Amino acid sequence: MRALRDKEKIVIYGDYDVDGTTATALLTEFFQDLGAEVDYYIPHRLREGYSLNAGALKKIREQGAKVVITVDNGISAVAEAEVARDLGLDLIVTDHHEIPPRLPEAFAILNPKQAGDAFPGKELAGVGVAFYLLIALRKALREAGMLGDREPNLRRALDLVAVGTVADMAPLKGVNRILVREGLKVLSRTSRPGLKALKEVAGVDGEVSADQVGFRLGPRINAVGRLDDAAFGVKLLLSRSDAEALELARRLDRANIERQDLEDEIAREACARVDAERLFERRRSLVLFHEEWHPGVVGIVASRLVEKYYLPSIVLSRDKDGLKGSARSIRNLNLVETLRDCGEHLSKFGGHYYAAGLSLARERLEAFSTAFDAAVRSRLKDEDFQPALKLDVDSRLAAIDAALLEEIRRLEPFGLGNPEPVLRLTGLRVRESRIVGEKHLRLRVGEGKAAFGAIGFRLADKMPALDSEVDVACVPGWNEWNGSKNIQLRLVDLRPSQSNASRKKEY
């Protein structure tokens, strides 16, 4: 409030993922609406890395800033907070990552995971933490008579909150569920030029679902931060020009196509190494490094490894100071705690239960790989390495209709913490079967007079023979294409029919 009253320059220090860019845009727009002097800074993924850094803080101070507010980062920036203090910067940290043993010295720290924090939503994304900061700040400014006719409309900003929360895979329950549900309504009718343009290039129209945010909108914002400069993502979200927004959205779309190609290439190389060395037989984790792997996509490749081998996976690439990479986990393994078990080998690490980032000296790679595998073994039992597919209900093809889909729709938004209901259908006859896009499976399955099309992403290796019978785990939904709208099954998994076998709730 002092900074606003005294017209001090404020800088929002963000992160290069979707959560960080939406949170940066959210706070920047709020202060712009108040007429404050505000700017933003997004560190370059490749040149600077994650979170605060001394060089950026010096540059920010030289440009006249007095206050720095972090979003989606800063909770572990102990040394950098000291730099900020020495430079005369007031540092306010807003973050949602796991709390480290030592906190930075800052003017204020907002993180619902702090001990003693009474806020009920412990799983907020970074943009959610920023949103609740603005609710409190708006209230304080109103009570102090500092708003006048400039009171910001925070409901209008819920489109940003929804995009960041879904893309960061925050659990969609409690306050997150409310924020995303209401935010999707705003997003579906948004007047924000940047999100309108992004929806256009991504082929998203009408009522926007969390699934569309997670698989169409979010990846395009993420891609520009992975391969280019995330500041273009913030610029898109803040743009007030339709023409500029469309140009930026196309830039993000091109970056996403490049990201997909890189991801596929590196994933093939990583899987080939795992298979050639039979690592999935000898280890309880995967730690892979290659000089030429692009650091912008190692996290996605780690997720692909978990998907294929169901082992905690770390993918590393070269960094100016050694090695840097991303880790992804399986059920029942807290990654941050596991990395802490072998922290003596790491220069830096942090993150969440299922996803984390880390850096280490190259000469520590072998020792770290051994220590990480030992830590995983100590924390998990043999049965934890068996993937389980949770099935919500056994059904029949004839029971799937528009009324059922409407009942399912009422349970939205779906995501982590509130997954889509998965149906098991057994004894279906395969009437059509083909591979699309090299990796995906398209079927038409029937049961008596009922028949539906089905799509299985990355299930091409399970292609069934024509006229065979299969059991499927699937999510029914609408498929809209060229003006037509039909029920389609999205396959989660399938197998040759065992309809006479005893049925279980997971397999």
| 221-257 pLDDT per residue, tens | 999 999 989 999 999 999 999 999 999 999 999 999 9
- Residues listed for the chain: 507
Most distant CA pair in the chain: distance in Å?
76
Q: In whole angstroms, give the CA distance from residue 72 to residue 386.
A: 33
Please check the confidence at residue 502 and state whether its pLDDT lies above 80: no
Please check the confidence at residue 366 and state whether its pLDDT lies above 60: yes
Position 150 confidence tier, pLDDT thresholds 50, 70, 90: confident
* E strand or H helix that includes residue 55: helix 54-62
pLDDT at 132: 98
pLDDT at 207: 92
pLDDT at 438: 85
Position 3 confidence tier, pLDDT thresholds 50, 70, 90: confident
How many C-beta neighbours within 10 Å does residue 77 have?
26
pLDDT at 499: 67
| φ/ψ (deg, to 5) at 119 | -65, 135
Average pLDDT over residues 161-169: 97
Helices 18-33 and 126-143 cross at an angle (nearest 10°) of 10
In the CATH scheme, what architecture does the domain 277-385 have? Roll (3.10)
**Which part of the chain is CATH 3.90.1640.30?**
2-250
Position 500 confidence tier, pLDDT thresholds 50, 70, 90: low
Average pLDDT, the chain: 94
Position 198 confidence tier, pLDDT thresholds 50, 70, 90: very high
pLDDT at 501: 47
* 171 SS3 class: coil
Q: Name the region of 438 (left: φ>0; alpha: ψ -120 to 50; beta: rest).
A: left
pLDDT at 503: 45
Distances (CA, A) of 180 to 234, 307, 364, 415, 422: 20, 26, 42, 10, 21
- Range in 174-178, 377-381, 409-413 with the lowest mean pLDDT: 409-413
pLDDT at 229: 92
pLDDT at 49: 83
Please check the confidence at residue 135 and state whether its pLDDT lies above 60: yes
**Start-to-end C-alpha separation, the chain:** 56
* 320 SS3 class: coil
Task: Select 393-496's CATH number: 3.90.850.10, 2.40.50.460, 3.40.50.1370, 3.40.640.10.
Answer: 2.40.50.460
Which fold would CATH assign to domain 2-250? inorganic pyrophosphatase (n-terminal core) (3.90.1640)
Encoded amino acid at 249, one letter: A
Average pLDDT over residues 479-499: 90
pLDDT at 148: 82
Position 505 confidence tier, pLDDT thresholds 50, 70, 90: very low
Question: pLDDT tens digit string along 85-112?
Answer: 999 999 999 999 999 999 999 999 999 9
Please check the confidence at residue 506 and state whether its pLDDT lies above 50: no
**Which part of the chain is CATH 2.40.50.460?**
393-496
**Which part of the chain is CATH 3.10.310.30?**
277-385
Please check the confidence at residue 393 and state whether its pLDDT lies above 50: yes
Give the residue ranges of DSSP H helices in 365-476. Answer: 365-379, 402-409
